[in-house]
Amino acid sequence: MLLAGRGFGKTRVLSEMANLWATAGVCKRMALVAATAADARDVMVEGESGILACAPPWCQPEYQATRRRLTWPNGAIATLYSAEEPERLRGPQHDGALCDELGSWRDPSTWDMLQFGLRLGQNPRIVIATTPRPTRLIRQLLAREGKGVVITRGTTSENRDNLAPGFFDSIVSRYEGTRLGRQELLAEVLTDTPGALWNLDNIDAARREHVPDLQRVVVAIDPAVSSHEGSDETGIIVVGKDGREQAHAYVLEDLSGRYAPNEWARCAINAYRQHGADRIVAEVNQGGGLVENTIRTIDANIPFTAVHASRGKYIRAEPVAALYEQHRVHHIGGFPELEDQMTSFTADIDRGKFGSPDRVDALVWGLTDLMIEHEPYSGLLAYYAERAAESRGEGRNQDRRKSEPISEPANADLRSASAEPSLDNPD
């Protein structure tokens, strides 16, 4: 397993290994597995450092896109798989596998299905190249170092001669010395952030593979004010809850990304329809009525709830984090980007450097709508609790943006809805 920083040359390593195995006759039936089908095609096969670009002139493989297959002149074959479709690995047999960005695989069962198919030849083997996100699978493999697992590590700076100077000026200089830089540039496997509201052990302990029957589903949005490169993401998270007396919640999908307004609205509405959701919940502090209007231009009949943030992000997230500690929130599969934000979410996070945790914001809005009961005068109590914390110098308001002022006591999260509120979640 190669744990290396961004720009180290992980893709080149996998490509050279695939060509070596094929031309030397080491492997005749290989699996190429990436986080998505597009990654397998665009990065592992057709990319600047992909297999086609790295193959020797005298042994160029033929790529058959419709069959998801590479065939070398000597008959060796490599088949492309997406980690989002583990069932495609059920049945095929391989004598070697090359895995790209294992830390970004959402469905843990993909790894299991791959293992079951490695049953050809005398010595089936796997090569993994990944940025070291501390997922459960990567931690399990690290624990097996020296016992059938060989670990190689590399940093971004080791390949500096082959990277654009601007990359170091804009990216490396910005993140060097930070926690994110230690993971993405120095390839360190990080433990939990001190003071973070969530930790991976709690998330992993409650993780599930299958969705039960759900009583309610909502699509939560934390819209960004712009969509240009470098702007914050729009958080879009789909969550649901079951019907048991003490309800449990389930994180179903993370669709967050950088979108133009019409794009995030269409994405959220598609998720609403696909998951049979009850309503869309969106923060309107920065967009005001434009947020609802954007959604209504696409579908005028969507049940919509507007939520207004009158407390700091950390304060709003604490009741949701408590549900995770009680193992009452379950992630269906893995959500690497969301979980990275969750396990780095502290009261004093530097948003000027790392941007807004929009995925976490959307998660909190969705789970609050589903799971948090709104008691009378809760906003007034929260207001005075914050004032008391400030007077003690606890600094719990450090994460409040200028766009989230508290000018007077108010209900914790004032709500307005264009449709009647849900009966099982009264205001």
pLDDT digits (tens, 9 = 90+) for 279-307: 999 988 776 678 888 899 999 999 999 88
Which CATH number fits the domain that encloses residue 82? 3.40.50.300
pLDDT of residue 349: 60
Can you read off the two tokens belonging to residue 427?
């205001």
Residues 324 and 232 grouped into a single domain: yes
pLDDT of residue 78: 97
Which CATH number fits the domain that encloses residue 330? 3.30.420.240
Please state, as a whole number, how many other Cβ atoms lie within 10 Å of the Cβ of residue 213. 7
Nearest by Cα to 320 from 378, 367, 370, 283: 367
Q: Domain ends where: 122, 157, 184?
A: 184
The answer as to whether 151 is a domain residue is: yes
- Give the residue, 393 or 232, on which the prediction is more confident: 232
The answer as to whether 207 is a domain residue is: yes
Residue range 48-57: average pLDDT?
A: 94
Residues 154 and 205 grouped into a single domain: no
pLDDT of residue 333: 87
Q: Is 315:396 a contact under the CB 8 Å cutoff? A: yes
**Residue 43 confidence class, pLDDT cut points 50, 70, 90:** very high
Distance between CA atoms of 78 and 250, rounded to whole angstroms? 36
Asked if pLDDT for residue 227 goes beyond 60, the answer is: no
Residues 148 and 217 grouped into a single domain: no
The answer as to whether 147 is a domain residue is: yes
% residues pLDDT > 90 (the chain): 48
Residues 14 and 151 grouped into a single domain: yes
- Give the residue, 113 or 309, on which the prediction is more confident: 113
Residue range 323-334: average pLDDT?
A: 92
The answer as to whether 45 is a domain residue is: yes
* Residues of the domain holding 40: 2-184
pLDDT of residue 334: 85
Residues 407 and 304 grouped into a single domain: yes
Residues 162 and 211 grouped into a single domain: no
What's the predicted TM-score (pTM) here? Answer: 0.63
The answer as to whether 136 is a domain residue is: yes
The answer as to whether 36 is a domain residue is: yes
